[in-house]
Amino acid sequence: MIQGLLALAGLALLVPPAAAVPLQDAKPKAAAPKKAAPKKGKRAAAAKPKAAVAKPAAPKLQPSAATLRVQDWVSSAGDNHGLPYLIVDKPHAALFLYDAHGKQLAAVPVLIGIAPGDDATPGIGAKQLSEIGPAEKTTPAGRYLAKFGLAIGKERVLWVDYYTSVALHPVPTGAAARKEKRRERLASPTPDDNRITFGCINVPSSFYAKLLSPMYKGKGGYVYVLPDSKPIEEVFPALHVRSVAAR
């Protein structure tokens, strides 16, 4: 019997002890939650993508009564002398382009002088931009023969009135223009935020490059800027003559 016990003790010495288990691994693992089986005859509804919020589109520009009145006079009286012309409707921040025969070719929004007004400050063309006060930043009303020329920095622009430094050119792309959100203002659905320039007329770059520039190169063309507050007959006296003749 003693021999049997010794034999069992020898076998116990041959069996290796169980390896130590780290504490973090000793914790029971949480059972993974079971996914609920879909009910028969019904499919899980697919998540619908959220519809993008559409920005309000700018309304199609239509000539105002004042614009139509000037266009009719220019076309019938030949005031454009066989050259293309455009009408800038300041109250509606819109521009309408016509060929030499009075056919409307385009209508685009514009940016104009930040201050309402119809007259340029005397001597403003000789001032630096930093010298121009807020009330002087107007786009003057009137009739102009516009031609291309160079501005500061040798930039080619369409000079509406060289002596008062009023030019027509594409919307600038510099840091100052981006800070003023000029492109966003041009694309807005209302004309309420289109007054931002020092007096120049800003137009969409594609319109300037594809339509306006080719038409006005060479002999140029006429620009008619409608007034903010003056009677339109005061700005364009020929309209008064036509009104009297019509009576």
At 96, phi and psi to the nearest 5?
A: -125, 125
How many beta carbons lie within 10 A of that of residue 132, not counting itself? 16
Determine the pLDDT at residue 11.
37
Question: Phi first, then psi: what are they for 209, rounded to 5°?
Answer: -75, -40
Pick from 219, 217, 244: nearest CA to 233? 244
d(CA 186, CA 169): 13
Tens digits of residue pLDDT in 161-215: 999 999 999 999 999 999 999 999 999 999 999 999 999 999 999 999 999 999 9
Q: Is the confidence at residue 12, as pLDDT, over 80?
A: no
Average pLDDT of the chain to the nearest whole number: 83
pLDDT tens digit sequence for 19-29: 333 322 233 34
pLDDT of 1 strictly over 50: no
- DSSP state letter for 233: H
Residue 4 pLDDT level (bands cut at 50, 70, 90): very low
> Which pTM value belongs to this model?
0.76
